[in-house]
Structure 1
């Protein structure tokens, strides 16, 4: 399998490109608009055909490349069914599968960071990895104080949904701020300081006391991402 983890240093965002083989079909998860040229070059060099571009949720810290990839490569754009982004081609439900040339992603509804966040499990019949967006980070978790976020729903998504995956399942988040690139479900169960050994009430208190600054890109990024990263005046395509 072809697997590439790409990083945007401005927003500390991870983007993931997956394909089963050279010359085959590919998908990309959480692409960043400013990195479009890098993605297009990599796709050409690997000789793959991008058929799906996926966002785990409506990001507040960067503008998505979903619309640009759709327009340049005619790929399908995918988000969870609760997104308010009307430009998305396909809205997936909890438990739905995305199949691409031997690769399967299982959609897992994991609200808490936002009310429409989804995670995606690689090969869900025998999980190999999970792309958690912002709900579960490496030794942390996504803030829960805007876009319908809720600390108790975050706890439920992490403990009762993601932590039900096998312990060796690799965790690939949408962000990291400390130089870590991957973790595992077992590691986060044991070592995540917000969750390990904590109760739901304790977690809720931790999340309510973070006192994080307002995201500097939020007022720009969220409206742009509701149009798949394109100006609001741009006609919306559904394919």
Structure 2
């Protein structure tokens, strides 16, 4: 399997390999404060001013989608990535990245979304050099296809790839590393697999309720209970939870598997209004216009 080296100390690593950090003696300050503020850019959580890592939670109101910005400020290039960007808010996101003096390296998706068009294609067009990332199991096109136990490295920041299929066949959760040089507590970007007090639907795109139940319990609920849960959506005004909270209070996933399956099979949800546009576009990571021209 390949190791991708895009700029110094930014890479995607294959299973059972570790990031090759340049300095083993560097003092790393990684404490995040869970302070929250509201702004015109949408809700976001701010880290401690002393932290070497930057984190922002951004919001797109039409689809109630969260986009996450992470960066390592300790490196000269200040490499950054976006998780689940939306096409409608690409200009906002790039403006923020420019203001903060960051260099966008990766535009990542947790899965092929059905309720909005990913911003990955526009980001690649407007910020040359950006690499798109999605799971290999999604069967979507991207620059980098990741699988179970792969690690994405951005400076010293590590994101582990955990397969969490069930909402769609290709869902993954990105989890910050467990080392002392990583953000504490850990952070899990769960896409639609695990929402705050809920989960993604399982009635289309290869969804499977039994598979989703097993995915969440084996890949997310096995994380430390103080791990912060950051989903791709919220419809009730929540912004963050923890693994421990969801294990105790999630009204669906605290049930046994058979009860969970019954709940999911009787939701009677409306057909997503953008699915016929969003899914084809997201299968080419938002580069649908270019793909059509090349056909």
Query: What TM-score comes out, normalization by structure 1 length?
Result: 0.95
Aligned position for 1:207:
264
* Structure index of larger Rg: 2
- 1:43 aligned counterpart, secondary structure: helix
Q: Which is worse superposed, 118-127 or 45-54?
A: 118-127
1:52 to 93, 106, 120: 106
Residues 13-162 of structure 1 aligned to structure 2 (within 5 Å): 13-21=65-73, 23-73=77-127, 74-86=129-141, 88-125=142-179, 128-162=186-220
Distance 1:235 1:120 in 2: 32
Q: 1:18 to 1:112 in 2, by over 3 A?
A: same
Unaligned segments of structure 1, at least 5 residues: none
- 1:227 aligned counterpart, secondary structure: coil
What's the CA shift for 1:228?
A: 1.6
Aligned position for 1:225:
282
Distance 2:222 2:293 in 1: 42
1:106 touches 1:124 (CA, 8 Å); kept in 2?
no
Distance 1:202 1:125 in 2: 37
1:105 touches 1:124 (CA, 8 Å); kept in 2?
no
Query: What TM-score comes out, normalization by structure 2 length?
Result: 0.77
Please state if 1:178 is matched with 2:178.
Answer: no
- 2:152 aligned counterpart, secondary structure: strand
What's the CA shift for 1:208?
A: 0.3
Please state if 1:10 is matched with 2:62.
Answer: yes
Distance 1:170 1:62 in 2: 25
Question: Which portions of structure 1, spanning 4 or more consecutive aligned residues, are displaced by more than 3 angstroms?
Answer: 124-127
Distance 1:95 1:124 in 2: 13
1:105 touches 1:120 (CA, 8 Å); kept in 2?
yes
Distance 2:193 2:164 in 1: 7
Distance 2:241 2:293 in 1: 39
- 2:190 aligned counterpart, secondary structure: strand
What's the CA shift for 1:62?
A: 0.2
Please state if 1:187 is matched with 2:241.
Answer: no
What's the CA shift for 1:125?
A: 4.2
What's the CA shift for 1:186?
A: 0.1
